[in-house]
Amino acid sequence: MLLIKNAKIIQSNNSLIGNVLCKDGKIIEISTNPINTDCNTIDAKYNYVTPGFIDIHTHGAVGIDVNNATEADYIKLSKFFSSCGTTSYLASVLTDTPDQTMKCLNAIKNYINSKPTINNLRGVHLEGPFLNPKFKGAMPEHLLKEGDMNLLQQYLDTKLVKYLTISPEIEGVNDIIKKYSKIVSISLGHCAPSYEVAMEAIQNGAKCITHIFNAMEPLDHHNPGILGSAMESDAYCEIICDGRHLNPATVRMLIKVKGLDRLVAITDSIMATGLSDGEYKLGVNDIVVKNGDAVLASNGVRAGSTLTMIDALRNLLDFTKYDITKLIPLLTYNPACVLNIEDTKGTLDIGYDADLVMLSKNFDVVDTIINGEIVN
């Protein structure tokens, strides 16, 4: 068992001073009164205790690129993410050859099956290959494909793929959405559909928009397209809050238009995250990082970020001036909803998984707890 006492507990847009008791990987008691039990105890000293962060879109960090990562690499990667407060993440596999994609999936499967000490890798986000070449961003154009159910089924058969980014206007993709949206969470991205096609995709089960405003057709008041459908519908929207991908004013606008309950903070981080400026890889791409900004070496197009989840929270606090209680769901409950795991993760309450992060008053990570165990 683990007892956290004297904590400023953040739960469901509310906060209270109290104590949290965890047992067998679950939260079993929350009380404003002392909890008397003989077990491992942390004195939070009135620091914040929140649900652990859930990053549904990351390509790597600390010199590790998901598209080329080994089982051993995930030990280092998972440790780094946990030090940033991330208790769950999906490894985002950039569009690659089928053989290399399967190699990535097998490395992830081996790591998860090894029952690692830091168990925060929850599965895979496939970003492609069924994407629009016109808005490929950092996707290798020669590897993009029309919708292929047989290929997708091979990937899904691994039981690792939890999240899929696709372009609804590409041939065969609408059929994929109809067939698989109840099996895997589907997000629309790297795309330029008409408003009607985008709305049909959302009505057929697509539930999120990948890195909103980035790598998609801009809003046109005569042809609202993907952005018009994103704003009008109840679809969730990924937001990269590094101040580069989205101007802070754009983040504030999204909050007003979509509401805090439909925005998902992601990192879209690459292997340069946690390291200095220099030359790196993102899948098959050569990347240059200068002043923390990652771009393709070939043409200067932005290619992921060097953001961490704790920095995303700090930036959101700065951009909005909101209280932390309003913003924590963007890093916890909302991504859990996208992945359909909100019944077990993303909330600090009795019966939920004991995945927690303790933050100082300056929003530094003090402790990270995964499955009721202190890992940082």
37-61 pLDDT, tens digit each? 999 999 999 999 999 999 999 999 9
Whole-angstrom CA distances from 53 to 36, 155, 161, 188, 332 are 29, 26, 19, 23, 5
What does the angle CA 115 – CA 121 – CA 127 come to, to the nearest 5 degrees? 140
Residue 278 lies in a domain: yes
Residue 136 lies in a domain: yes
Helix axes 195-203 and 225-232, enclosed angle (nearest 10): 40
Q: Is residue 143 domain-shared with residue 67, that is, in the same domain?
A: yes
C-alpha to C-alpha distance for 70 and 74, rounded to whole angstroms: 7
Q: Is residue 126 domain-shared with residue 178, that is, in the same domain?
A: yes
Q: Is residue 133 domain-shared with residue 279, that is, in the same domain?
A: yes
SS3 state at 299: coil
Q: Is residue 278 domain-shared with residue 207, that is, in the same domain?
A: yes
Range 189-209 average pLDDT: 99
Q: Is residue 17 domain-shared with residue 71, that is, in the same domain?
A: no
Q: Is the pLDDT of residue 180 over 90?
A: yes
pLDDT tens, residue by residue, 201-254: 999 999 999 999 999 999 999 999 999 999 999 999 999 999 999 999 999 999
Q: Is residue 79 domain-shared with residue 116, that is, in the same domain?
A: yes
Q: Is the pLDDT of residue 311 over 90?
A: yes
Could you give the dihedral angle defined by the CA atoms of residues 271, 125, 313 and 27, in that order, rounded to the nearest 10 degrees?
-120
Instruction: Provide the b/e sequence for 176-203 (b: ≥16 CB within 10 Å).
Output: bbeebbeebbbbbbbbbbbbebbbbbbe
> E-strand spans in 32-142?
40-43, 48-51, 53-58, 60-61, 64-65, 86-94, 121-127
C-alpha to C-alpha distance for 376 and 360, rounded to whole angstroms: 14
Q: What DSSP state is assigned to residue 191?
A: B
Residue 350 lies in a domain: no
Q: Is the pLDDT of residue 376 over 90?
A: no
**% of residues, the chain, pLDDT over 90:** 99
pLDDT attached to residue 13: 78
Band (pLDDT 50/70/90 cuts) for residue 274 is very high
Residue 108 lies in a domain: yes
> What domain range includes position 326?
53-345
How many folded domains does the chain comprise? 2
Residue 37 lies in a domain: yes
pTM of the model: 0.98
| CATH classification at residue 103 | 3.20.20.140
pLDDT tens, residue by residue, 75-107: 999 999 999 999 999 999 999 999 999 999 999
- Secondary structure in 3-state letters for 212-276: CCCCECCCCCCCCHHHHHHHHCCCEEEEECCCCCCCHHHHHHHHHHHCHHHEEEECCECCCCCCC
pLDDT tens, residue by residue, 321-365: 999 999 999 999 999 999 999 999 999 999 999 999 999 999 999
Q: Is residue 190 domain-shared with residue 214, that is, in the same domain?
A: yes
Question: Which H helix or E strand runs over 20?
Answer: strand 14-23
Residue 354 lies in a domain: no
pLDDT attached to residue 12: 79
Range 120-131 average pLDDT: 98
Range 255-276 average pLDDT: 98
Residue 95 lies in a domain: yes
Q: Is residue 151 domain-shared with residue 188, that is, in the same domain?
A: yes
C-alpha to C-alpha distance for 216 and 191, rounded to whole angstroms: 5
Range 301-316 average pLDDT: 98
Q: Is residue 16 domain-shared with residue 123, that is, in the same domain?
A: no
| CATH classification at residue 365 | 2.30.40.10
Q: Is residue 9 domain-shared with residue 75, that is, in the same domain?
A: no
Q: Is residue 335 domain-shared with residue 268, that is, in the same domain?
A: yes
pLDDT attached to residue 199: 99
Q: Is residue 18 domain-shared with residue 127, that is, in the same domain?
A: no
C-alpha to C-alpha distance for 127 and 20, rounded to whole angstroms: 37
Residue 302 lies in a domain: yes
What's the mean pLDDT when you consider all of the chain? 98
